[in-house]
Structure 1
Amino acid sequence: MTRLTKKLLAPKFLYFLGISYSLLVTILFLMPAQDVPEVTIPFLDKLVHVLIFSILSFIWLLIFRNSSKIIHTILWICLIIWCYGIIIELLQQWFFDTRNADSWDVVANSVGILTGVLLFQRIKARFSLKK
């Protein structure tokens, strides 16, 4: 493993990355709709949800990659991130006049979470991520 890879996988860096990215995602999803650029490409917003939640789940899986019960950890991370996505949708519906909850966003979030897990499994097996 290269020195750069070791630095990028250092626990302090990963925790900083995970918390920072989670805060950024929260801020972006709770921005008033008039501050979000108008896009005319069909379903682009769903693709963005898939991408954002893929990265989110991948980062948190990297943080807890050395868990002794990795399957259990993966399931918990997926559940927590999935609930986080639902909470974001509910907050958009309840507290922002310009935003609406969308069940298809939850579906896209779920696809993103699963994509992040698959990417994590592939990377973990390929580079044998250990402490």
Structure 2
Amino acid sequence: MVSFFCLTSSNDIPTVNIPNLDKFVHAFFYFVFTILWFLFFKKQVKKKNQFKFLVVAVCFSLLFGIGIEILQDKLTTTRSGDCFDVLANLIGTIIAFSFVLFAKQIKKNQNTNE
């Protein structure tokens, strides 16, 4: 479904005159996307060391974002690939990665203090 919306005609999307708003949307989307993939992998495999699942979620999110940009450039006539969209995706993914590590550290500290 996400792929469909990323590859449909951009003529139907309402425009808003806020500079670089789309980059913030990309970053936010990939923040959520990465966390959801991490939670999916975490739920599928119950292991203590879940860091590798976070890395897999980050890699999957980044590869997906790059793939979508390539497909927008090659398969659509109303959209084009944008390196800055990939950069915004990367920023959102890095923020998600940091957020998960930070949350895990807080949880670990709380468990240690009990």
TM-score of the alignment, normalized to the shorter chain, above 0.5: yes
Deviations 1:78-120 (A, max 9, x none): 1111010011001111111110000000000000111111222
The number of aligned residues is: 105
Return the match for 1:121 from 101, 109, 112. 101
Deviations 1:57-98 (A, max 9, x none): 011111223444422222222111101001100111111111
Distance (whole Å) between structure 1 residues aligned to residue 11 and residue 107 of structure 2: 43
Equivalent position amino acid for 2:88 in 1: A
Distance (whole Å) between structure 1 residues aligned to residue 70 and residue 104 of structure 2: 34
Distance (whole Å) between structure 2 residues aligned to residue 36 and residue 51 of structure 1: 18
How far the C-alpha of 1:127 sits from its partner, in A, is 4.8
Distance (whole Å) between structure 2 residues aligned to residue 100 and residue 54 of structure 1: 22
CA contact (8 A) 2:41 2:53 kept: yes
Equivalent position amino acid for 2:32 in 1: I
Q: 3-state DSSP class of the match of 2:73?
A: helix
- Unaligned regions of 5+ residues in structure 1, if any? 1-22
Equivalent position amino acid for 2:84 in 1: W
What is the match of residue 88 of structure 2?
A: 108
2:68 is the alignment partner of 1:91: no
Deviations 1:18-39 (A, max 9, x none): xxxxx3x322211211011112
Alignment of 1:11-90 (within 5 A): 23=1, 25-65=2-42, 66-90=46-70
Greater Cα shift, 118-127 or 47-56:
118-127
TM, length-normalised to structure 1? 0.71
Report which of the two structures shows the higher radius of gyration computed on alpha carbons.
Answer: 2
Distance (whole Å) between structure 2 residues aligned to residue 82 and residue 110 of structure 1: 6
Equivalent position amino acid for 2:85 in 1: D
Greater Cα shift, 118-127 or 102-111:
118-127
Distance (whole Å) between structure 1 residues aligned to residue 100 and residue 28 of structure 2: 14
Equivalent position amino acid for 2:51 in 1: I
Aligned CA-pair RMSD: 1.7
TM, length-normalised to structure 2? 0.81
Question: Identity rate of aligned residues, in percent?
Answer: 29
Equivalent position amino acid for 1:64 in 2: F
Deviations 1:7-62 (A, max 9, x none): xxxxxxxxxxxxxxxx3x32221121101111211000000000000000011111
